[in-house]
């Protein structure tokens, strides 16, 4: 067998035995009146990992399919793919350069955290309103546009220069705080604009879904959110044009080297952070990921520690019971849609310093968000965040291990579609398919 064909045969093995296990296992479990909720997924992953060695005992004994069995089989599948790839392309950077692999995985985690923030808003909207917003990508785009064009105004440039001068004169913690004021104001502006648009849209177009005036509320929500997406996209294009723009990074890192000798563990330059000489994280991505983590913590605190957050969770579980206790479900719908739009806008505001921005940038972002919430489980906030990490890691691994950078960039949307297809086939409820 030629080396280049090893990966192909490994994939054929996984698909063939995985398909057989996924089809036959639920039927065997059903014939014995056993729980079949995990049978399809369990049969598929065990079959793909072990082939007949795993499937024959599974069909004969029909044990309870526990999580550790599925995790172990998943690790074996990953090992088969990695081994097949290493044998097929032994000179690939992902095979011969461990530092490159670590750097790619780190970048995948960083961008995955940002993807998770982007999908949190869509998950929040679905869990409360029960609809999928097809305008989510456009809120993401609007957030980035607000940051770029507000930051480019002469007034804001003058304000930034004055705060930077004040920061240099002040020094210390107070100087650092002054240094952060302009980017924080830009992010706040993006949050306010997208929140207001989301609230107004929900009050005008979506509230009628709960009044009985709309015969098919599900189809109506799809149509009006599609309409909002087209409106925001083409209005933005009419106002600012279709040329790509990109914001400067919000602030520079200080120059740091720890310890201050050869072999430094941590090295920081204005535009980059380096750990152990292996992991390199650009300033804009690190900033965006840190912001995403802070927002996730703030959102979880809001949902579980405040009255409004508990009211949102109550409405997501049972609207009628929540109304009996004095909660207004319509007001919670408005708040949820506004917050979902705000989270999308904030993710766009943090990424406009990373990617080139144009009115159509929300289309692939929305597609990623749909993949992530299906992967994590519709209505699950932790699932959305974990789904974002998985998608980020898969994209980083895929783009880093393909030598042709042009092809690697073109394949990025395909990775999400592959993940979506596998999830829908093996576990349609997602990783955490439960209500918020």
Show me where the domains of the chain are located: 3-90, 99-244+300-426
pLDDT reported for residue 178: 67
DSSP designation for 37? T
Greatest CA separation for the chain: 78
Q: Are 143 and 346 in contact (CB under 8 A)?
A: yes
d(CA 118, CA 110): 13
pLDDT average, residue stretch 372-397: 82
SS3 state at 266: strand
Q: Hey, is 2 helix, strand or coil?
A: coil
> Per residue in 269-298, pLDDT tens?
878 888 777 777 888 888 888 888 888 888
Asked whether residue 2 carries a pLDDT value surpassing 60, the answer given is no
Q: What pLDDT, on the 0 to 100 scale, is given for residue 145? A: 93
Structure confidence by residue, pLDDT tens digits, 78-120: 888 888 777 777 777 777 777 777 777 888 888 888 888 888 8
pLDDT tens track for 119-169: 888 888 888 888 888 899 999 999 999 999 998 888 888 877 787 777 677
Task: Please give the average per-residue pLDDT across 28-54, as a whole number.
Answer: 86
CB 366 within 8 A of CB 136: yes
Is the pLDDT at 195 greater than 90? The verdict is yes
d(CA 344, CA 54): 44
Cα within 13 Å of Cα(221), Cβ side: 19
pLDDT beyond 80 at 405: no
Which of residues 247 and 97 earns the better pLDDT score? 247
CB neighbourhood size of 411 (10 A): 15
Q: Give the model's pLDDT for residue 1.
A: 47
Q: How many CB atoms lie within 10 A of CB 165?
A: 11
- pTM to 2 decimals? 0.84
Contacts of 31 (CB under 8 A, 6+ apart): none
185's CB contacts (< 8 A; 6+ apart) are none
Interval 230-239: pLDDT, tens: 999 999 999 9
Residues 326, 410: Cα–Cα separation, whole Å: 52
Of the chain, the percentage scoring pLDDT greater than 70 comes to 93
pLDDT category at 303 given cuts 50, 70, 90 is confident
| Residue 429 near residue 377, CB atoms below 8 Å | yes
Tens digits of residue pLDDT in 345-378: 998 998 888 888 889 988 888 888 888 888 887 7
Per-residue pLDDT of 332-346, as tens digits, reads: 989 999 999 999 999
Decide which of 358 and 419 is more confident.
Answer: 358
**Range 168-176 average pLDDT:** 65
Decide if pLDDT at 41 tops 90. no
Q: How far apart are CA 58 and CA 60, in angstroms?
A: 6
Whole-angstrom distance, CA of residue 132 vs CA of residue 224: 11
pLDDT value for 249: 84
Q: What is the structure's pLDDT at 326?
A: 86
Query: Phi, psi at residue 255, to the nearest 5°?
Result: -80, 115
Q: How far apart are CA 418 and CA 111, in angstroms?
A: 19
């Amino acid at each position: 067998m030629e080396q280049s064909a090893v990966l192909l045969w490994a994939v054929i093995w996984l698909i063939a035995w995985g398909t057989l296990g996924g089809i036959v296992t639920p039927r065997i479990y059903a014939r014995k009146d056993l729980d079949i909720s995990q049978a399809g997924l369990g049969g598929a992953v065990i079959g793909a990992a072990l082939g007949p060695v795993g499937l024959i005992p599974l069909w004969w004994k029909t044990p309870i399919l526990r999580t550790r069995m599925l995790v172990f089989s998943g690790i074996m599948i990953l090992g088969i793919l990695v081994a097949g790839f290493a044998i097929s392309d032994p000179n690939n950077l992902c095979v011969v350069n461990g530092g490159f692999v670590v750097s790619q995985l780190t970048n995948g985690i960083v961008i995955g955290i940002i993807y998770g923030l982007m999908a949190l808003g869509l998950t929040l909207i679905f869990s409360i309103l029960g609809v999928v917003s097809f305008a989510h990508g456009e809120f993401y785009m609007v957030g980035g546009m607000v940051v770029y064009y507000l930051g480019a105004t002469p007034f804001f440039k003058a304000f930034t220069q004055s705060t930077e001068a004040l920061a240099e004169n002040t020094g210390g913690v107070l100087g650092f705080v002054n240094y952060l004021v302009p980017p924080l104001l830009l992010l706040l502006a993006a949050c306010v604009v997208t929140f207001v648009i989301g609230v107004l849209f929900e009050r005008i177009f979506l509230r009628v879904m709960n009044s009985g005036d709309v015969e098919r509320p599900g189809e109506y929500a799809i149509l009006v959110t599609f309409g909002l997406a087209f409106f925001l996209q083409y209005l933005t294009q009419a106002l600012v044009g279709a040329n790509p723009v990109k914001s400067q990074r919000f602030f520079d890192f200080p120059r740091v080297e720890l310890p201050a000798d050869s072999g430094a563990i941590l090295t920081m330059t204005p535009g980059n952070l380096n750990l152990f000489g292996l992991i390199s994280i650009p300033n804009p991505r690190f900033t965006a990921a840190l912001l995403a983590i802070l927002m996730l913590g703030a959102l979880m605190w809001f949902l579980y520690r405040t009255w409004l957050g508990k009211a949102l969770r109550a409405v997501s579980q049972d609207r009628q019971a929540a109304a009996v206790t004095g909660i207004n479900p319509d007001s919670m719908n408005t708040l949820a849609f506004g917050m979902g739009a705000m989270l999308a806008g904030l993710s766009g505001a943090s990424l406009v310093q990373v990617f080139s921005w144009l009115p159509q940038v929300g289309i692939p972002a929305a597609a990623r968000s749909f993949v992530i919430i299906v992967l994590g489980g519709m209505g699950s906030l932790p699932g959305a965040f974990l789904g974002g990490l998985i998608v980020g890691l898969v994209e980083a691994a895929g783009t880093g291990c393909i030598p042709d950078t042009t092809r690697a960039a073109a394949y990025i949307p395909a990775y999400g579609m592959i993940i979506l297809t596998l999830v829908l086939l093996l576990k349609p409820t997602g990783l955490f398919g439960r209500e918020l």
